[in-house]
Chains A and B, each alone.
Chain A
């Protein structure tokens, strides 16, 4: 029940009005890493909305996720500039390297693979963000090194 009370204490920082729905979901996601069923239920109850409404809003926006993420979140930008610089091939490479599809997490919980419509660093396309740190002008070689470093760091 510990988790539940944490959700509620965060909810109480916001006025229970509908306009706070998106800020609340963003804050809860930042805290928990993803939107669990519990979060959706609690938020709906707090704001006096149906869970369906809350889920409807949450699924509308790109930034919300409903599955637990890995320790290292790899987010490959698929913006136009990144696309013309070959991010499609890099996505295929990451898929093969990690053995997962975008939106999934590796079995060991180490990596999750996400794509982004645009990270806004188009001048350095293609870009890959690793837990929020942007790596610019990435190549297969560079990504291989990044993954290697993380894996070695985890073993040590």
Chain B
């Protein structure tokens, strides 16, 4: 094989038909130890440079480290990594000294990078004020008296499976992924399982789609596999349009090969030879890493013709999308890949029967596919042991808004929201009161304090009148106004409604108008306006129910969820707006007369 490193070539030897049936050879385990940092000879500095890190200025810190290394210690290694998940403490850097565990530091700005380098690398002294903790078992020896990052409140309550190596491995290095057992699941599937066994294993694990509806992935794959069509497709939905959600982006930026491995296994399982990844053209960091990963996997023979000598071939294409919220819906996404307006079409026929170019198609989102390699490698039992009876495994949530620690959190299904808000993310800063948690973006619903004990699994969330959605969590505190938030969310939905079906197109426009009227002051009204305002408030619930029952796709059906749940839990706040024309949070400034 041309154009790949010696390490990669050696590690690929471990993926052959014979090799996976034998214990790992000494040579390969030696390379693994070296690449995972267990037998490090020189200091290693890693800087988290996914989009969040870059936003916090991690590129400048990296250049500073680079300059310092050139000047003081040319043998040290500088590496980019993905995101550890603790967004609010970015830029985050890791430093591993030879023979020791890796240490993680927070708030490594340009100035702090210099401080860190001078004190730790040159004087072997740990600057405690920047320390997050040490990564257990990352090196041969522990730092005495330094806490493990697993004891940090942010990481303590989490169960990191997909995110295990986030912020630790270099997303530009297929060698590092291979050294951590990457592509072993693909090798196992290709060399020892039939496609229907792969589907069966995924079904037995109970993996459900992480994009929203929560359909059993294995069942969907089986249906596609059983279709006799010669041409089938796999689509990886990385087109994240949900404000407040960046799960897919962070998985791709932190560990792109994991997604590619999941796609390859999915394609093998359903009998597809072409896969598309739909991703926003604007997500330049993700795109760059994904393109790099696909090229690497191609060079290593892990995509392309006759993968690992198994006779299975797969081409993975990136398809840049131009951004439309409704393209999270699978049928709309298929239309957009065909070069049309991304409007959904009624199901059935489901994509597993008639999808892209009228051929059977599997559409899975990034998080779902990232779960696949572990299930195949470790067996369905291990995956199914986590979570609740009907919702297995873990769920990744992106937590933002008015909360102390923002970031990406992976918890076992069944964990209560309260654990995430209060323990992992540290509650509301500044002594303010928690108001509500918005789950699932604009088409989700709100969870006030009493509902925080709801467990994070498909059934409990449905019982609470909401939908899992893609796992975006935005936290509101008492300074946020529910009416104002609702007005904002409905404006978003109204803009993003594709316009195909009337309940959604006209209904969401009316919903937005009604809420906007509530937040309007007397001084802006004339004639019958005040009467109409009341009349529309009376119609609000009825309208919401009609939209919910008659819309074509998930966008319309779930659009009124937020209105209904806000009315249920924050009725008093609405009434105060409607009757008193007063906003208790002081946000709706149009209500009061301008002085």
Chain A interface residues toward B at CB < 8 A: 17-23, 25-26, 56-57, 60-64, 78-85, 88, 117-118, 120-125, 127, 132, 134-136
Contacts and interface: CB of A to CB of B under 8 A. Distances in A.
B94 interface: no
A123 B406 contact: yes
Contact of B401 (A17, A60, A85, A117): A85
Contacts of B381: none
Interface residues of B, number: 55
A80 B339 contact: no
B103 interface: no
9 contacts: A22-B339, A80-B442, A84-B474, A84-B475, A118-B243, A118-B244, A121-B55, A123-B87, A124-B55
Contact of B243 (A64, A80, A135): A80
Interface string B392-425: 0000001011100011000000000000000000
B323 A81 contact: no
A81 B474 CA distance: 6
A84 B488 CA distance: 10
Contacts of B401: 80-81, 84-85, 122, 125
Interface in B358-399: 398
Nearest to B241: A117
Contacts of B52: 121, 123-124
A21 B55 CA distance: 32
A84 B339 contact: no
B243 A63 contact: no
Contacts of A121: 51-52, 55, 246
B138 interface: no
Interface string B271-289: 0000000001111100000
A20 B322 CA distance: 12
B480 interface: yes
Interface in B42-91: 51-52, 54-56, 87-88, 90
Contact of B56 (A19, A26, A64, A136): A136
Contacts of A80: 243-244, 400-401, 438, 441-442, 472, 474, 485, 488-489
B341 interface: yes
A124 B56 contact: yes
A129 to B, nearest CB: 9
Interface string B483-501: 0010011001000101000
B407 A123 contact: yes
Interface string B318-355: 01111111000000000011111110000000000000
Contacts of A17: 339
A26 B246 contact: no
Given A26-B322, A80-B441, A84-B402, 15 more contacts: A22-B320, A23-B319, A61-B323, A80-B400, A80-B489, A81-B243, A83-B485, A83-B488, A84-B474, A117-B241, A121-B52, A122-B406, A123-B407, A125-B400, A125-B406
A122 B246 contact: yes
A26 B398 contact: no
A124 B400 CA distance: 8
B56 to A, nearest CB: 6
Given A63-B281, A81-B243, A84-B476, A19 B339 contact: yes
Given A63-B323, A120-B240, A122-B400, A57 B341 contact: yes
B110 interface: no
B150 interface: no
B323 A123 contact: no
Nearest to B481: A84
Given A25-B322, A84-B401, A123 B342 contact: no
A76 B52 CA distance: 16
Contacts of B244: 79-81, 118, 122
A88 B480 CA distance: 12
B342 A19 contact: no
A117 B492 contact: yes
Shortest beta-carbon contacts, A-B, top 4: A123-B87, A79-B243, A61-B322, A118-B243
Contacts of A57: 339-341
A89 B92 CA distance: 30
A83 B56 CA distance: 19
Given A83-B485, A85-B402, A120-B246, A60 B321 contact: no
B142 interface: no
A21 B339 contact: yes
Interface string B281-317: 1111000000000000000000000000000000000
Nearest to B247: A120
Nearest to B342: A60
B38 to A, nearest CB: 31
A17 B357 CA distance: 13
B55 A60 contact: no
Given A85-B401, A122-B400, A64 B485 contact: no
